Amino acid sequence: MGQPSQATLNEKTDEHIVRIPTEDGFIKGTLPRIAGIVPLAAWFIVVNEFCERFAFYGGSAVFQNYVSGDEEPGSLEKSQSVATALSNYFTFFAYFTPLIGAVVADQYLGKYRTILVFSVIYMLGWIVLTITSIPTSTDGDFHTYGAAAFPGYIAAITIIGLGTGGIKSVVSPMCADQIPKEAYTVTKNGRQYIVDPDLTVQHLYNWFYWAINVGAMVGQVVCVKLERNAFWQAYLVPACMFVLSIAIFVAGTKRYKKEVPEGSIILVAWKCIRYGMARRNANPTAVSVPAGTNFKFLEWSEPIPGESPSEASKRTWDANFPKELRQTLKACSIFPLMSIYWVCYSQMLNNFISQAGQMKRPHWLDNDLVSMLDPIALVILIPLFDSFIYPFLTKHKIEFGYIKRIAVGFLLGALSMIYASVLQKKIYETGPNFDFVDRTEEELDLQPYNNISVFLQFPAYLLIALSEIFASIGSLEYSYTHAPTKMKCLISALALLPNAAASLIGLFLSPLAKDPTLTWMYAGAGIAAFIATIAFWFLYRKFDDEDLALKRAAVAAETSSPSGDTPAPAYVGKAEAEADERVHVR
């Protein structure tokens, strides 16, 4: 009998759920493991995220045309390089500020109130952008903007970036916090299953990401269509959508599991790291550390032989904190190379839009509407992976760990950029504008595109969408499932820093985002991503093996002896404690 579907588990008529007794310390680890039911509280947050991403992707979809477009209803008349630079600045700021949200949530407000506060800031940013984008005069369908439009745009994207960043590091951990942390058994039609919290989180995050992309898809359609009338209309809708987002989030208030802020874990972590490194430098032989231990200096952050009362008094963290911090740093060690992947992804948000503008399109298909192909592909593909592909792999015991998935995502991102490079070369080789360099304004006004179909751009979006399923969702799950309870917001914030770094790289590369150097810009990003794929796999492939070994050890320790009346001997040492944390089985 295969894994029951989520729909089957939702049928309560003949289902009997038995919580696994934690005091016994074991469960029947040989039973098949499945994803459980996602609580209603989590779905309130998922719908809230749908609204937020509608606003983010819908409004930002028209940024490029607003700044540099040359079609109706007019623009701020800046160059493509300026538009791309500001787009990268916006993305950088939006993915750098999650650290602020993490500190505010951990130290001051908690996750729930942090989301509310930054949601209001977010909405104010859209209001500023709406007001400053109202044209001062209109000539037919063409609009002219006042002196406040460009500085207003910069101010607005800064406020919006702060708002989305403050929410971003908090919303996905709060959503996953609603999932029960303990495994339990489900008896269905005479067959027992273990409901594995890790698989439930994977199931939730697949649908969380699905909601993101449905929101992005609908938002882009609505805002791009409104852009034809006026940009301020395209920005007013995200502001209104945020009113709905806040209302939906507040509606679930009584159902949420809320954690009280316990102080900034970032500051405690920094003190722990400095303390351990200083003691190791002062007394390197005090601790014997096994070969291959990650972040060895943290061994000196724990009690060591011969330490003075003064040294011990400086340890203000609990005994488990250095172990948890080691786990956190290990999870974060994959993030730097993720920046290269996000450089590839970010092309979809700016340069792909401009590339579509250089291609022949049906009259109903705006260039910034072509980017909707990414969320459309994800809306179709995510349920396919969640309902069929991943359950098939689980059923046949095919291990497809986080590192394998992220590496596959890297490779697909590289292939997308190589395809875009070849396509850009083909655009330049096609008339009448060829590389667009020697054409006059009159000639470009007459036909601003080359005679090559925009539908040839579709494979680049499909490759990016597939890469997101593996790399983006995979890294999201990895950062949550490998984070100790007190550090989930921190790791979630740090997991977003590669996006900020990618935008910073894109900012420096923005002078290349012009004709006729776009071919080499795409090719360079593809080559860099391919090299990063190889480096990522060789550096981190052992992490999948370690996770698998830890999970197997945990299952062995949880399994009862043949007689069934005593638990199997517990395995010893830190690896066992880490396994208990990793697989969330008590």
Residues whose CB is less than 8 angstroms from the CB of residue 160 and which lie 6 or more positions away in sequence, other chains included: 56, 59, 90, 94, 122, 125, 126, 129
In a domain, 403, yes or no: yes
Same-domain pairing of 232 and 375:
yes
Predicted confidence (pLDDT) at residue 549 exceeds the cutoff of 80: no
Q: What is the pLDDT of residue 562?
A: 43
Same-domain pairing of 319 and 329:
no
In a domain, 18, yes or no: no
Same-domain pairing of 451 and 524:
yes
Query: Which of 284, 303, 323 is the C-terminal boundary of a domain?
Result: 323
Same-domain pairing of 306 and 406:
no
Confidence band for 345, pLDDT divided at 50, 70 and 90:
very high
String of DSSP letters for 331-345: HHTTHHHHHHHHHHH
Same-domain pairing of 439 and 467:
yes
At residue 139, the 3 state secondary structure works out as strand
Q: What is the pLDDT of residue 240?
A: 93
In a domain, 569, yes or no: no
Confidence band for 554, pLDDT divided at 50, 70 and 90:
low
In a domain, 586, yes or no: no
Same-domain pairing of 332 and 467:
yes
Cβ neighbours, 10 Å, residue 574: 11
Cβ neighbours, 10 Å, residue 312: 10
Q: What is the pLDDT of residue 71?
A: 55
Residues whose CB is less than 8 angstroms from the CB of residue 301 and which lie 6 or more positions away in sequence, other chains included: 272, 273, 275, 276, 279, 315, 317, 321, 322, 325
Question: Computed over its alpha carbons, how large is the radius of gyration of the chain?
Answer: 26
Lowest mean pLDDT among 9-18, 83-92, 210-219, 377-386: 9-18
Same-domain pairing of 351 and 379:
yes
Per-residue model confidence as pLDDT tens digits over 248-283: 999 999 999 887 777 667 778 889 999 999 999 988
> 36: closest CA among 61, 13, 57, 17?
17
Same-domain pairing of 380 and 297:
no
CA distance 563 to 544: 33
> 540: closest CA among 291, 297, 294, 298?
294
Lowest mean pLDDT among 233-247, 298-312, 423-437: 298-312
Same-domain pairing of 297 and 405:
no
In a domain, 206, yes or no: yes
Same-domain pairing of 233 and 270:
no
Into how many domains does the chain fold? 2
Place of tokens 């080691």: 326
Which CATH number do you get for residue 424?
1.20.1250.20
Q: What is the pLDDT of residue 392?
A: 85
Query: Which of 289, 305, 323 is the C-terminal boundary of a domain?
Result: 323
Same-domain pairing of 549 and 460:
yes
Query: Which of 323, 342, 362 is the C-terminal boundary of a domain?
Result: 323
Question: What residues make up the domain containing 219?
Answer: 40-190+198-251+324-558
| 3-state SS record for 74-89 | CCCCCCHHHHHHHHHH
Lowest mean pLDDT among 27-36, 178-187, 465-474: 27-36
Does the predicted model carry a pTM greater than 0.85?
A: no
String of DSSP letters for 503-555: HHHHHHHGGGSSTTSHHHHHHHHHHHHHHHHHHHHHHHHHHHHHHHHHHHHHH
Per-residue model confidence as pLDDT tens digits over 54-98: 999 899 888 888 888 655 455 788 887 788 888 888 988 888 899
In a domain, 582, yes or no: no
Per-residue model confidence as pLDDT tens digits over 421-451: 999 999 999 989 999 998 888 888 889 999 9
In a domain, 428, yes or no: yes
In a domain, 108, yes or no: yes
String of DSSP letters for 223-246: HHHHHTT-HHHHHHHHHHHHHHHH
Helices 458-467 and 402-428: angle between axes, nearest 10 degrees: 160
